[in-house]
Structure 1
Amino acid sequence: MEIAVVDIKGKETGRKVNLSDAVFGIEPNNHAVYLDVKQYLANQRQGTHKAKERAEIAGSTRKIKKQKGTGTARAGSIKSPIFKGGGRVFGPRPRNYGFKLNKNLKRLARKSALSLKAQDKAIIIVEDFQFDTPKTKNFIDVLKGLGVEGKKSLIVLGDSNKNVYLSSRNLKGSEVVSSSELSTYKILNANNLVFVEGSLEGIELNLSK
């Protein structure tokens, strides 16, 4: 698949890049995408939730009424879950929600997500650029030039570029990542993928294994 390379003002440079069919042109595997996104979201959960159970409640241990003769059910502890202020039955405990996926499945999921974006023509290739200083206005000008201002966009850099990253940090709709940080969730969560030309080689090399 050939895509024209544009500059930061959105004008064609006259060059084209050929995207690898092994990465951007496969038949998407929806189940692999589902599992990878599920794992990503599970890993975002802190798992620090906790409710006190019967043994952890502070309260008297005396038997609150006699065993027989009251005409009501027997009760031995004020900390019982059936009383107000008692412990919770099977309450949440701290846990890790993460689960393991093998590398081949995760690689297939990312290729599937990229192929879906390629099918939707939601990929833009921009020539390499840098900022001398962090400035949000400069980054907004780039988004305007590429026609993605106000849209959820993911800008993928070849190497981490601190000034470009800092310039984008205050904008809600756009996110800047390096090619090594690319994930299935982030690909699908964006309306447009903007690849800096220098990032393509590393992505295709990594996902073609």
Structure 2
Amino acid sequence: MKVAVLDIKGKETGRKVELSDDVFGIEPNNHAVYLDVKQYLAHQRQGTHKSKERAEIAGSTRKIKKQKGTGTARAGSIKSPIFKGGGRIFGPRPKDYTQKLNKNLKRLARKSALSIKSKEQAIFVVEDFNFEAPKTKEFKEVLKSLGLENKKSLFVLGDSNNNVYLSSRNLKRSEVVINSELSTYKILNAGSIVLMEGALEGIESNLTK
């Protein structure tokens, strides 16, 4: 599958690149996509949630009233969960939410996500560019030229580029990653994928091992 290479002004350069059908043209595996997205979202959870239970509350253990004759229910320590300020019953405890997936399944999920975007014609290939200094204004001009100014977009670089990354950091709808950071969730979460020309080789190499 051949795709035209654009410049940062959104115009065709006259060159075309071949996108591998093994990466951008497979039949999507929806279950693999589901598992990979589920793992990504699970890994965003810190798992540090904790509430104090009865044994962890600071307070007296004295029985607060006699067992019988009060006309009310029996009550022991003030730390009982039925009282305000008492411990919590079955409260949250720290938990590790990480999930394990094998590498082949994760590759299949990413290839499926890229193939979905390819079928939607939501993948652009742009020649490599750089800014002299980090400037959000210049990055917004690139978005405007590509017709992505008010749309969710994901820019994939071949190598780390601090000026481009910092220029995009203040924009909520745009994200910049290098090819090794590409994930199924990020691909599907973006409306359009902008691939730098220098990122293609790394993407295809990573996903066809």
TM-score (norm 2): 0.96
Opposite residue 93 of structure 2, the aligned amino acid is R
Q: Aligned to 1:36, what secondary structure does the other structure show?
A: helix
**Structure 2: how far apart are the matches of 1:143 and 1:113?**
22
**Equivalent residues in 2 for 1:184-195 (5 A)?**
184-195=184-195
| 1:202 alignment partner in structure 2 | 202
Opposite residue 10 of structure 2, the aligned amino acid is G
* 2:143 maps to 1:139: no
Number of residues of Structure 1 aligned to a counterpart in Structure 2: 209
In the TM superposition, residue 56 of structure 1 has moved relative to its aligned partner by 1.0
**Structure 1: how far apart are the matches of 2:67 and 2:133?**
78
In the TM superposition, residue 83 of structure 1 has moved relative to its aligned partner by 1.9
Q: Aligned to 2:107, what secondary structure does the other structure show?
A: helix
**Structure 1: how far apart are the matches of 2:85 and 2:169?**
45
In the TM superposition, residue 153 of structure 1 has moved relative to its aligned partner by 0.3
* 2:183 maps to 1:171: no
| 1:8 alignment partner in structure 2 | 8
Percent identity among equivalent residues?
A: 80
**Equivalent residues in 2 for 1:83-94 (5 A)?**
83-94=83-94
Q: Deviations over 1:178-202 (max 9, x none)?
A: 0011011110110000000110011
Opposite residue 204 of structure 1, the aligned amino acid is E
* 2:38 maps to 1:29: no
**Structure 1: how far apart are the matches of 2:201 and 2:89?**
55
**Structure 2: how far apart are the matches of 1:90 and 1:79?**
14
CA-based RMSD: 1.2
Opposite residue 38 of structure 1, the aligned amino acid is K
Q: Deviations over 1:93-124 (max 9, x none)?
A: 12221111111111111011001000100000
| 1:128 alignment partner in structure 2 | 128
Structure 2 unaligned residues grouped into runs of 5+ = none
Q: Aligned to 2:79, what secondary structure does the other structure show?
A: coil
In the TM superposition, residue 75 of structure 1 has moved relative to its aligned partner by 2.2
**Equivalent residues in 2 for 1:111-126 (5 A)?**
111-126=111-126
Q: Aligned to 1:170, what secondary structure does the other structure show?
A: coil
Structure 1 unaligned residues grouped into runs of 5+ = none
**Structure 2: how far apart are the matches of 1:43 and 1:155?**
22
**Structure 2: how far apart are the matches of 1:150 and 1:83?**
52
| 1:48 alignment partner in structure 2 | 48
